[in-house]
């Protein structure tokens, strides 16, 4: 998207007294931005598809989901236009004031140059952030394709009469994350999910601050990867059921509600829950009081 950034900056610089609305209403600017986004989207989608094909994986719903992610990443031209508008407005107009402005200075041109640089940086910043998201999508595609290929081969063997299971294997060099280490060695059926074995929030720092586990892509965890760096550190291994016992489901873990979940909660439900908690605490205090009285000699 660098050519589009240079072009829009050049138009901004050539029209130092123009407004952001005038800039964005120009057909050439609109066409340049749309073409840049479309070209970047096609390039990112091609890399995702190439990474999927390189793993020799069959088609799967997750591939379509990944490509849809790329479309969303580069399809929000309204957000890009808003970034340009804010960058344009961040440099106010300046005019020559007799007796105040230094002789020979040109505040209008100087402000136009600064505004052009701000607009260019806004477009390039959008491009960098979107490229990072695309790289994460490519990494996810690589791990998901390996898992899809492994499971497809296993299902073909199972259809031929073998009784198979799948096992999560994490690297044991200390680089695997806490939750991948939890999954290391877990053996389950081919169609089952590893999500129940992931574990809940953990104190990774040792200071009492709980870190939430990674959220699997689309809430599915048929195999690695769990997070962007998981694909290179974990792998899915197919084993025979008679050679590897299936891992039993772990005991249910207490769940914690996050501040974001509380903020998103409808007000009637929030009030009902707080009333329930107050009533529960009142009842607990009454029970403890009765126990104290009963324990007195």
Instruction: Determine the pLDDT at residue 202.
Output: 85
d(CA 252, CA 135): 35
H-helix or E-strand spanning residue 293: helix 267-295
d(CA 78, CA 83): 9
d(CA 189, CA 193): 8
d(CA 20, CA 175): 49
Report, in angstroms and rounded to the nearest whole number, the Rg of the chain calculated over CA atoms. Answer: 29
| Residue with the larger pLDDT of the pair 207 and 201 | 201
CB 133 within 8 A of CB 44: no
| Residue 179, both tokens | 């939750």
Average pLDDT over residues 199-215: 83
Phi-psi region of 217 (alpha: psi -120 to 50; beta: other; left: phi over 0): beta
pLDDT in tens, 69-121: 999 999 989 999 999 999 999 998 877 666 666 776 678 889 899 999 999 99
d(CA 223, CA 231): 10
CB 88 within 8 A of CB 16: no
d(CA 53, CA 155): 19
- Residue 189 is given by DSSP the state E
Instruction: Determine the pLDDT at residue 246.
Output: 85
| Residue with the larger pLDDT of the pair 176 and 279 | 279
Instruction: Determine the pLDDT at residue 253.
Output: 59
pLDDT in tens, 13-43: 999 999 999 999 999 999 999 999 999 999 9
Instruction: Determine the pLDDT at residue 259.
Output: 76
Instruction: Determine the pLDDT at residue 295.
Output: 79
pLDDT in tens, 255-281: 667 777 788 788 888 888 899 989 999
| Residue with the larger pLDDT of the pair 184 and 174 | 184
Average pLDDT over residues 159-188: 90
Instruction: Determine the pLDDT at residue 251.
Output: 67
CB atoms within 10 A of CB 133: 15
pTM: 0.75
Chain Cα centroid distance, residue 91: 32
d(CA 53, CA 14): 46
The region of weakest confidence among 87-91, 102-106, 125-129, 217-221 is 102-106
Closest CA to 11 of 126, 127, 125, 123: 123
pLDDT in tens, 130-166: 999 999 999 999 999 999 999 999 999 999 999 999 9
In 178-279, the DSSP E strands lie at 187-189, 234-240
């Amino acid at each position: 998207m660098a050519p589009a950034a240079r072009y829009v900056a050049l138009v901004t610089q050539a029209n130092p007294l123009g407004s952001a609305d005038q800039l964005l209403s120009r057909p050439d600017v609109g066409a340049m931005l749309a073409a840049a986004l479309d070209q970047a989207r096609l390039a990112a989608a091609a890399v995702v598809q190439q990474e999927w094909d390189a793993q020799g994986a069959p088609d799967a719903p997750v591939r379509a989901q990944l490509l849809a992610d790329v479309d969303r990443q580069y399809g929000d031209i309204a957000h890009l236009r808003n970034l340009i508008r804010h960058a344009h407005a961040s440099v106010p107009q300046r005019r020559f004031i007799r007796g105040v402005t230094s002789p020979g200075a040109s505040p209008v041109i100087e402000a136009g140059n600064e505004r052009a640089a701000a607009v260019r940086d806004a477009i390039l910043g959008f491009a960098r952030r979107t490229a990072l998201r695309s790289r994460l999508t490519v990494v996810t595609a690589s791990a998901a394709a390996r898992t899809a290929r492994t499971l497809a081969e296993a299902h073909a063997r199972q259809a031929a009469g073998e009784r198979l299971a799948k096992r999560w294997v994490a690297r044991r060099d200390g680089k695997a994350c806490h939750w991948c280490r939890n999954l290391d060695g877990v053996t389950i059926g081919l169609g089952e999910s590893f999500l129940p074995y992931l574990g809940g929030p953990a104190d990774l720092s040792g200071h009492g601050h709980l870190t939430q586990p990674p959220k699997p892509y689309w809430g599915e965890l048929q195999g690695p990867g769990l997070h962007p760096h998981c694909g290179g550190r974990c792998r899915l291994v197919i084993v025979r059921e008679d050679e590897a016992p299936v891992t039993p489901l772990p005991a249910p873990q207490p769940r914690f509600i996050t501040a974001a979940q509380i903020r998103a909660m409808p007000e009637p439900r929030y009030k009902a829950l707080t009333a329930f908690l107050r009533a529960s605490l009142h009842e607990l205090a009454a029970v403890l009081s009765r126990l104290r009285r009963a324990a007195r000699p």
